[in-house]
Structure 1
């Protein structure tokens, strides 16, 4: 049995993976959606970048998991990449879902125009509020799905600005990158560099940046077929 540990991006908690987890379990796999510190039911918990890395490592160790597929969406590609290196031989595969790739010394906000995010964190007293509903247009989401994201937890700002710590490059681990085409045809520069490795594979998905909502069944199928198969 493959054990999927599912970590959503900014503002979201374990709840974001409900439909994907259901599909994976129905196919005979084990799914562990994880809420990071400071978000959803863990709102109010002080968190920095390394707090989120430890959240993931601790969950794998607490459950005694082996043959683990770590799945990171968007922001969570940064802590997932670091956790993947730290869990050693427990890891089977890393999956980044339209995500930022962890690079030693670089933060989530590195490598893309992020002055508006930094300003929003400062104005928000150290947290990044969810975007306005209009910002989710064209991403394949229903009005109800957009409302759920907009109403989610403000994201702890320190986790976005602190640098990743990677003793070795993520490219040395086995991985899959899922690019969601409604959010642009090309991965971000760090992810594009990662995909030069012969240990990483690129798969595209014709939907927006939040496929766990817009195409959960197709996302689960990609996870099963591209990663979990012997």
Structure 2
């Protein structure tokens, strides 16, 4: 099965470089995406450009597709399910949750000259980054791509309630499955509260398991896709 891989803020498709070989070994076709404004040189990109790029990748996939979103890009994965509920077989959310209709996409950090640069590791101290050593942190920060403000402040638009029929797997890195269930049950994640099929899996990592636990993450993603494919 084709597995679309969408990394979060400041990352391009190369974030999945250590994951894709393991997915191929499991018999799947990984498709890491580099989004407009996050690696393709489109400093003027808006959220709709990223959404269109994701939907185009779904349309180009062979047969049904699993769409994986990491962190803020969990919303992009969910938007793919909204746009193509008959084509997206499963949504996998890593370390994040989808924003709801009418909410800003990822208005989380400070802006500079029309972009949201990586804010530094002080903002991620604790479980988010505890498994990243200094060389890994330095490499991440050096490669981080400032995200256009028009992307992060773009408004999410959801329209097709068939998205709630698409199975969801929540991969829990810096938080636990029990915490995720609690947040959803408390109404903090309205989109997943309405989803009909939500499963959870733990991974012992910080916020970026594609960097620190790529083989284990690939196994989780492959198993998720194989359940659908079978």
Q: TM-score normalised by the shorter chain: which range applies?
A: 0.7 to 0.9
Could you state the TM-score of these two structures normalised by the residue count of structure 1? 0.85
Matches of 2:124 and 2:12, distance apart in 1: 18
Offset at 1:86? Answer: 1.3
Of 197, 215, 226, the match for 1:199: 197
Residue 128 of structure 1: aligned partner: 116
Separation of aligned partners in 2, 1:125 and 1:70: 32
Return the match for 2:95 from 95, 98, 123: 98
What corresponds to 1:10 in structure 2? Answer: 9
Report the Cα distance in structure 2 between the residues aligned to 1:81 and 1:193, rounded to whole angstroms.
9
Q: Does the CA-based 8 Å contact 1:177-1:203 persist in structure 2?
A: yes
The residue that corresponds to 1:38 in the other structure is 37
Partner of 1:214: 212
| Farther-moved stretch of structure 1 (24-33 vs 217-226) | 217-226
Residue 27 of structure 1 deviates from its aligned partner by 1.2
TM-score (norm. length: structure 2)? 0.85
CA contact (8 A) 2:43 2:148 kept: no
CA gap 1:82/1:64 in 2 versus in 1, 3 angstroms: same
In 2, the alpha carbon distance for the partners of 1:22 and 1:100 equals 26
How far has the Cα of 1:26 moved from its partner? 1.1
Matched, 1:174 2:162: no
Give the deviation of 1:33 after TM superposition. Answer: 0.3
Change (3 A) 1:33 1:9: same
Distance 1:131 1:45, change over 3 A: closer
The number of residue pairs the alignment matches comes to: 218
Q: What residue in structure 2 maps to residue 80 of structure 1?
A: 77
Q: Is the 8 A contact 1:65 1:90 kept in 2?
A: no
Given that residues 43 and 153 in structure 1 are in contact (C-alpha distance below 8 angstroms), is that contact kept between their aligned partners in structure 2? no
> Which one of the candidate residues 167, 176, 179 is aligned to 1:186?
179
Shift of 1:43: 2.4
Q: CA deviation at 1:172?
A: 3.1
Note closer, same or farther for the CA distance 1:44–1:64 as it changes in structure 2 (3 Å cut): closer
How far is 1:198 from its partner?
Answer: 3.6
